[in-house]
């Protein structure tokens, strides 16, 4: 992918940063299914070195759940927010995570039954969230959307979260911006310059927060509708940028 037409490249990571990193489409290339992603060789070591250099002030801020992040980056267990801000594991290792409402398993089975008619469609069990994916089954998009809209009526406090070839059923009340704000009130993030890199619309909430604190927001890709201050072309460019500071 070519660099963004307007936004400048970010400088190399600096010692006084609090660094927040989105995962899919930023650290990792997209894959056909959530489980098929590949962590580039060398990336875990780069993240570890950077975390050390920043005094621990590095966190993943993802739409994935913490369990999925830990599986992907094992044996690394990073400070992280999952489920678009709903879950958070601070530097102290303490986890804050909501519980699914009663009867949620039944809804998951109903979603699987809808997806079964479209080979390639994937239902992702994310605990309190359900991800309805159609990357390998574009014809499933309307049926999955229809299911999600109808399910909302049975889920007080839930809303729909659009993503890249995915729609999620999720509780409201948090986003990547609230997660970054919470980290920034705690050691070792507090008092540092916040920097957040991400590719998706959900990352814009985080961009707003770091911009408001004289930080730096880095769009991965060339999407036009962004408040980001800087840009990198793709996950390969993100890898090279992180490596330059590790």
Ligand X SMILES: O=P(O)(O)OC[C@H]1O[C@H](O[C@H]2O[C@H](CO)[C@@H](O)[C@H](O)[C@H]2O)[C@H](O)[C@@H](O)[C@@H]1O
- Binding interface with ligand X (CB under 6 A): 22-25, 30-34, 37, 62-64, 124, 126, 131, 133, 135, 163-166, 200, 202
The residue from 22, 24, 70, 200 that is catalytic is 22
Q: Which is nearer to ligand X, 67 or 193 (CB)?
A: 67
Residue 12: CB minimum distance to ligand X, A = 23
Residue 166: CB minimum distance to ligand X, A = 4
Q: Which is nearer to ligand X, 34 or 177 (CB)?
A: 34
Q: Which is nearer to ligand X, 14 or 37 (CB)?
A: 37
In DSSP notation, the chain reads: -PPPSSSPPPPPP-TTEEEEE--BTTTB---SSGGG--PPTTHHHHHHHHHHHTTT-EEEE-SS-HHHHHHHHTT----EEETTTTEEE-TT--EE-PPPPTTHHHHHHHHHHHHTTSTT-EEEEETTEEEEE-TT-GGGHHHHHHHHHHHHTTSTTEEEEEETTEEEEEESS--HHHHHHHHHTSTTTTTSEEEEEE-SGGGHHHHHHHHHTT-EEEEES--SS---SEEESSHHHHHHHHHTT-
Active site residue 15: no
Rg, the chain, Cα only: 18
Q: Which is nearer to ligand X, 53 or 165 (CB)?
A: 165
Residue 75: CB minimum distance to ligand X, A = 20
Q: Which is nearer to ligand X, 54 or 137 (CB)?
A: 137
Residue 98: CB minimum distance to ligand X, A = 16
Instruction: List, edge to edge, every strand of the sheet that includes 158-163.
Output: 122-126, 129-133, 166-171, 158-163
- Taking CB atoms, the residue at the shortest distance from ligand X is 63
Catalytic center residues: 22
């Amino acid at each position: 992918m070519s660099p963004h037409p307007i936004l400048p490249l970010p400088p190399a990571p600096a010692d006084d940063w609090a660094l927040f990193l989105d995962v899919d489409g930023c650290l990792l290339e997209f894959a056909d299914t959530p489980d098929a992603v590949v962590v580039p060789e060398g990336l875990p070591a780069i993240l570890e070195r950077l975390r050390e250099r920043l005094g621990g002030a590095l966190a993943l801020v993802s739409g994935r759940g913490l369990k999925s992040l830990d599986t992907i980056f094992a044996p690394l267990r990073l400070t992280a927010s999952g489920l678009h801000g709903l879950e958070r594991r601070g530097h102290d290792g303490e986890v804050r995570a909501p519980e699914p409402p009663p009867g949620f398993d039944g809804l998951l089975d109903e979603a699987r039954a809808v997806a079964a008619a479209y080979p390639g469609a994937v239902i992702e069990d994310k605990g309190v969230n359900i991800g309805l994916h159609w990357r390998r089954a574009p014809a499933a998009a309307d049926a999955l959307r229809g299911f999600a809209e109808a399910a909302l009526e049975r889920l007080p406090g839930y809303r729909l979260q659009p993503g890249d070839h995915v729609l999620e059923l999720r509780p409201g009340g948090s986003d990547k911006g609230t997660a970054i704000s919470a980290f920034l009130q705690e050691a070792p993030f507090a008092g540092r310059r916040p920097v957040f890199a991400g590719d998706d619309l959900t990352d814009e909430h985080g961009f707003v927060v770091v911009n408001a604190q004289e930080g730096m927001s880095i769009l991965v890709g060339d999407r036009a509708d962004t408040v980001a201050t800087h840009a990198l072309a793709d996950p390969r460019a993100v890898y090279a940028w992180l490596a330059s500071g590790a």
